[in-house]
Structure 1
Amino acid sequence: MNVLGIIASGLAALFITVVLAKGVRRTALRSGAGRAPGGRPSRAGVVRRLGGTTVVLGVGTAAAAGTALGAADGSGRAVTGLLAGAGTVAVLGLVHDVRPLGVPVRVVVQTAAATLAVCLAGLSPAAGVLAVLWIVAVTQAFALFDTSDGALATVGAVTAAGLLACAAVDGRSDLALLPAVLLAGLIGFLLHNWHPARIRPGASASLFTGFVLASSGVLIHLAAPPERAAWAALPVLATVALADTALVLVSRRRASRPLLQDCGDHIGHRLRRIRVTVPGTAVVLGLWAGVAVVFGTLVYADVLHPALALVPPAGSALAVLALLRIPAYVAPPRPAARRPATGATAPTAPPTRPAPAGTAAPTRTSPAAAEPARTPAGRPTVPPPPTGRPAVGLTADRS
């Protein structure tokens, strides 16, 4: 196993990502924060969303250099196809960050990129179709996972560590290269994406991370020895991202909401509603992914029985059922009843009895007339001047 080549590639990915992310962060700080007048995203908001390109550039450069130097000799063609497909979805995400694209366009591009990676990997037609479906599903699941500071980078790094361990069990340096550089790149990005985050992964890094993880799992499964239970172990590594997607789809279906419209109902949003802090949310998701990675890796290494690979999905299903009980959709506020302005309408005085003959009729003063009219602020208004012209806007507190 070319350990030195993998370590050098990982360090390169870490260094490039940290340097680029620091530059993007400084640019975002100099550009200001918030939104520009008129509700349009400010330049700083756009820069923060493009921060994920640092992961793409760092990981892609290090992986390409490692492949060129012979770190992926056994699977150079497959790794090249994987990088080409990952670069395609990264460009798709970059365009989507600047100008949102429709779901059909994104799915078509992701499917084409996955087909390219699968064809260069040499899978059979039947296995290739299943692999394409798996890659597109996991890629889309990670694309929806950027809902909290540090969540995507933490879960992606833990999952990449599991794939790296599975490749190391078989001594496949060619297949360990991509998980290693992705792990290093996400760690470097996490230094700037931890709460309070100055840059965000955006669709570019989210799609890129999901595609690399799913495609690396397919390559490891393809090269696994027959005695390995790769079919049961490797899908477990993506449990958290798939559980988040299942939670969102079930919740929106039950609430009769659009399935493809973001409604703030992901795992991170629900944890925040029960007062889990933003860093705590990233830690909880990382531990959740860590449990799945441990089970999947031990099953792949034949330490645990393949049936135990069902433990993380079963636990995730129970967690999804529990999270569904946390309200995620806020009902629109009811319109408050309009109260009449003070002094605007005087109540009708009760009828008076006729006075006896020879006596003066008593005068009754209505409560509204007894008290001077008041402004909305509660101050008495100034009576009109003798000229008869109304004193518009004058109040008693004005000197």
Structure 2
Amino acid sequence: MLYGIAAATSALLLAALLTAWLRAPALRLGVLDRRRRRAVPLSGGVAVVLVTGLVAGAGDASGVAPLGTGVGALLVAGACLGALGLAADVWRLRRWVPVAGTAVAAVLVVPWEATGVPGGLLAAGWVVGATAAFRGLDHADGVAGTVGVVTAFGVAACAATELMDGIAVLLSVLAAALAGFLPHGRYPARAGLGACGSLFTGFVTTSAAVFARAGDGVVADAGVLFALTAVACADAVLVVLARRLARRRPTRGGPDHLGHRLRRLGAAPRTVPVLLGWGALGGVAVGVCAHAGWMSGDAVLWVAAVAAVVVLALVRVPVTLDFPPRQRSSAASAQVTGQLRVRSG
């Protein structure tokens, strides 16, 4: 208990300091958010990955809070995926490369002995999709960090009820590291998570959730896993549905995520992560209660119903399409950056 508090506190402070310290090197090296006119260095993702690995690894190496073989492999796989995300931040990798990397990492960390082959394949597919959805949340200042903090604490609570101390410690450290990043990532952001931080956060939280739920039945597992990641899943469904209705490719970027549409409805930039954070907290609370048996498993259907209503209500909110730079006029660019002031992805 005392180590958990000390580890979380250390992670929070180290992440805050390291994010600030890495801003200057990121600016010099040009590791910036390319979707902005203003230079925003992507130092937050590197800080979150390094601090989470350092603090959790120190507890495991010292024997004070051993992670366990499976959880240690999960952390290593997440760090490798974070490195792949950093490569995507520095160079323009094709979209399928991070997805393929996530798929390989998911196959390596899924607890096949507990899930079986069919369940393991479903779990790996869900990890890939949910990780991509978390990356999509990095479209507005503070959204990915806020939702990541809530989700990580929720998965830690699920692991704690199963006495999986290694997962609980790892997710608590991750949540604290994200909380340390948030003062730099809130509007107007002085640092961003980028693909490095968002892929790492999404993969570690979703894979840890699979560990905590493995063996409880496919239907029950799916309901709890969805509730824990309801905001990320709703954002992904909204984007895919809207782009299909507009006859656009789902992989083509644009300012059409949850945060963009809330801004179109008049929400202030600082309000968007708060609203989505409260939404994530509601889904996580239901997921944790259903996992622990404090609430009927049917309660996750209410989360699904609310998510469906939100998606259907926002899918017709008009957005400014994201055209390639050569086709976009300066007036359109000013409209996207000046009126929305959030990132597309």
TM-score normalised to the size of structure 2?
0.85
**Deviations for 1:21-46, whole angstroms, at most 9, x for unmatched residues?**
121245568999x99xxx9989x83x
Q: Secondary structure at the match of 1:306?
A: coil
Residue 144 of structure 1, aligned match among 136, 142, 164 = 136
Residue 80 of structure 2, aligned match among 75, 88, 106 = 88
Find the counterpart in structure 1 of residue 259 from structure 2: 268
Q: CA RMSD in A?
A: 2.9
Query: Does 2:63 correspond to 1:63?
Result: no
Q: Secondary structure at the match of 1:48?
A: coil
Q: Which amino acid aligns with 1:9?
A: A
Q: Which amino acid aligns with 2:116?
A: S
Find the counterpart in structure 2 of residue 202 from structure 1: 194
Query: Does 2:297 correspond to 1:306?
Result: yes
Structure 2 runs not aligned, ≥5 long: 330-345
CA distance in 2, matches of 1:326, 1:257: 16
Residue 287 of structure 2, aligned match among 267, 288, 296 = 296
Matches within 5 A, 1:10-159: 10-25=8-23, 45=39, 48-73=41-66, 76-118=68-110, 123-159=115-151
- CA gap 1:307/1:123 in 2 versus in 1, 3 angstroms: closer
- CA gap 1:231/1:255 in 2 versus in 1, 3 angstroms: closer
Q: Calculate percent identity across the aligned residue pairs.
A: 39
Q: Which has the higher helix share?
A: 2
Number of residue pairs the alignment of both structures matches: 323
**Deviations for 1:114-159, whole angstroms, at most 9, x for unmatched residues?**
1111268865322221121111111100111111111000000011
CA distance in 2, matches of 1:29, 1:207: 21
Larger radius of gyration: 1
Q: Which amino acid aligns with 2:178?
A: L
- CA gap 1:219/1:269 in 2 versus in 1, 3 angstroms: same
CA contact (8 A) 2:77 2:105 kept: yes
Query: Does 2:180 correspond to 1:192?
Result: no
TM-score normalised to the size of structure 1?
0.74
- CA gap 1:162/1:61 in 2 versus in 1, 3 angstroms: same
CA contact (8 A) 2:23 2:42 kept: no
**Deviations for 1:219-273, whole angstroms, at most 9, x for unmatched residues?**
111277x9xx555323311010010000000000010112111111001111111
Residue 316 of structure 2, aligned match among 325, 344, 361 = 325
Q: Which has the higher contact order (CA 8 A, sep 6+)?
A: 2
Find the counterpart in structure 2 of residue 181 from structure 1: 173
CA contact (8 A) 2:115 2:215 kept: no
Residue 215 of structure 1, aligned match among 204, 207, 212 = 207
Q: Which amino acid aligns with 1:265?
A: D
CA distance in 1, matches of 2:124, 2:239: 23
Structure 1 runs not aligned, ≥5 long: 336-399
